Amino acid sequence: MKKLLLTLASAGLLAGSLAAHATPEQDRQQLLDHFKKAFPKVVYDDYVYGALAFDADSKAQYDSIMEFPPFLTDIEKGQKMWETPFKNGKTYASCLPNGGKNIAGNYPMFDDKTGKVVTLEGAINKCRTDNGEAAFDLGDMKGIGTLTSYMRTLSDGMLMNVKVEGPAATAAYEAGKHHFYARRGQLNFSCATCHVDNAGNRIRSEMLSPVLGQATHWPVFRGGDKLVTLHDRYQGCNKQVRAVPFKEGSEEYNNLEYFHSFVSNGLPMKASVFRK
C-alpha cells in the first residue's frame, strides 16, 4: 500500500500541466484529449458512470441495482420536501428558474452582483431565505441532502452547460482550477493525482474515477443508503490525503465545483445514483 501511495504521489502525466493562460474551453479540450488517448474505447457519454466506465462487470452490477434502487424512500422524502409550501404559501418551484426543472446543469454559475460562485444548493438556500425560511446547513444530509436527492432528478438528461464569462468569473474558475491541481496534505496529493493521472488505476480494491463526468451525478448513495453530496465528498478526499478540509459551501469548494463542473460540459446529468 505504501509503495502504491508513493507511486500515485509521484505521478505527473497531466496534473498541474494545464496552461496557466488557457481558456476554460481549452482546459476542457485538453482533458478530453488526455482521456481519449488513455481510454480510446470509452464512449464519451459513459464518463458519467465514473470508474464504472472502465469496468464492465461493475457497470452491470450498477445497472442491476439501479433497476430497484434501495434509496427510493429517501428520494420520495426529498420530493415531499420539494412540494411542501413555505409558510407564505410559495414553493421552491415558484422561486427557481423554470420551476426548478432542467436547471441543475447550469450550476454552479457566477453571480456578477455578489462577485461569487453560486451553487445549486446556494440557490436553494437563497430561495428559502427570500421566503422567510431558515437556510439549510449544507452539511445536513437530512435537509439539503435529501431535498437535492430529488430536486436534481428534475434535470436528469440535461447536458452540463456551465458558463464562464467575464474577468471575475474567469478568476473564480482559475481559483477552482488551481485548487484541483494543487498538492496538499501529508500525502502531497492533488485532486488531479488520482482523477487525471491515475484514473482507471486501483488503490486497494477501488478503481479511481476520472474527473470527466464526476460532477454530473450528485448526490450519490454510497453503499446503497449513505447520502453523500459533492462538497461532502470533497471533504472526504481532503481527509484521505490527510489535509484539513474546508467547510461545505466555502468559497474554496464553490470555486472548485465551478471548475470541476465546467470540464464536464456536454455530458448528460443523472442524479441520485448508487456508488460503492
Q: Is the peptide bond before 219 cis (omega within 30 degrees of 0)?
A: yes
Query: Burial, 241: exposed, middle or buried (Cβ in 10 Å; 0-12, 13-18, 19+)?
Result: buried
Q: What would the grid cell of residue 8 be?
A: 500515485
Residue 159 near residue 267 (C-beta atoms within 8 A): yes
Q: Is 237 a catalytic residue?
A: yes
275 marked ligand binding residue: no
Residue 228 near residue 222 (C-beta atoms within 8 A): yes
Strand-strand pairing, 116-118 and 220-222: unpaired
191 marked ligand binding residue: yes
Closest CA to 162 of 250, 234, 266: 266
Place of cell 470555486: 255
Query: What span, in angstroms and rounded, lies between the C-alpha atoms of 196 and 78?
Result: 33
Beta bridge partners of 118: 109
Going by the DSSP 8-state scheme, the letter that residue 54 receives in this structure is G
Residue 176 near residue 260 (C-beta atoms within 8 A): yes
Please pick, among 65, 135, 237, 243, the residue that the annotation labels catalytic.
Answer: 237
237 marked ligand binding residue: yes
178 marked ligand binding residue: no
Angle at 214 between CA 192 and CA 67, to 5 degrees: 145
95 marked ligand binding residue: yes
Which H or E run includes 274? Answer: strand 273-275
- Which residue numbers are catalytic? 237
Binding-site residue positions for substrate: 233
Binding site members for heme c = 95, 127, 191, 194-195, 237
Residue positions in the annotated binding site? Answer: 95, 127, 191, 194-195, 233, 237
